[in-house]
Amino acid sequence: MLKIMCILELGGVFMAISNVSEVMVEAIGPMFEKEYESHVKDMGKSFGNFFATLRREKLKPKGVMMCTYLTDPDEVDDDKWRYKIAVKVDRETENTVVYPEHKALKLTVTGSYSQFEEAYKKIGYYIESNGDEVVAPPYEVYVKGPKLGFIMLGLVSEVRFPVK
């Protein structure tokens, strides 16, 4: 396995990108999901709108947040990002889906979202080096979010690429 590790210390905040590993992701559901197109800087507003929709639908989150990128950020303008936000919810409705079991390559990012560009480059290099075939858009799983509002401390996220 190609070892991918990057550890930084900025102002006493631990930040790291783990090794790439292959995992089986179990089927998960019911999932409530909603598609958005916005400027990259407005993604936070989209998450707010997503939670407002959850409240209107009277659904309660029962798992971690996920975001799937439907366009390659390197190939579209910053105001044309398309993505899908999803979360496991407490019950099925006509607006929920089940995500199927699949194999994925994943790495874990501890610390700031500013590391995601580097994380995507590293997992992309791993995929190229090993000849893996990506079968669906990559997605991020937000395992542990910020504890102090929008101060990005203690974040733990996974970047996953579904593969054959």
Q: For every one of its 164 residues, what pLDDT tens digit does the chain have, with 9 covering 90 and above?
A: 333 333 333 334 456 777 888 888 888 889 999 999 998 888 889 989 999 999 999 999 998 789 998 988 778 887 888 999 999 999 999 989 999 999 999 999 887 777 788 888 899 999 999 999 999 999 999 888 755 445 555 688 899 999 99
Cβ proximity of 93 and 53 under 8 Å = no
Q: Which residue has the tokens 């990559």?
A: 138
- How many residues belong to the chain? 164
Q: What is the dihedral of CA 121, 145, 52, 31, to 10 degrees?
A: 70
Q: Which residues contact 89 (CB under 8 A, 6 or more apart)?
A: 30, 31, 32, 54, 59, 60, 61, 62, 96
Q: Which residue has the tokens 């019950």?
A: 91
Overall pTM > 0.85? no
- The ranges assigned to domains in the chain are 1-24+101-164, 27-96
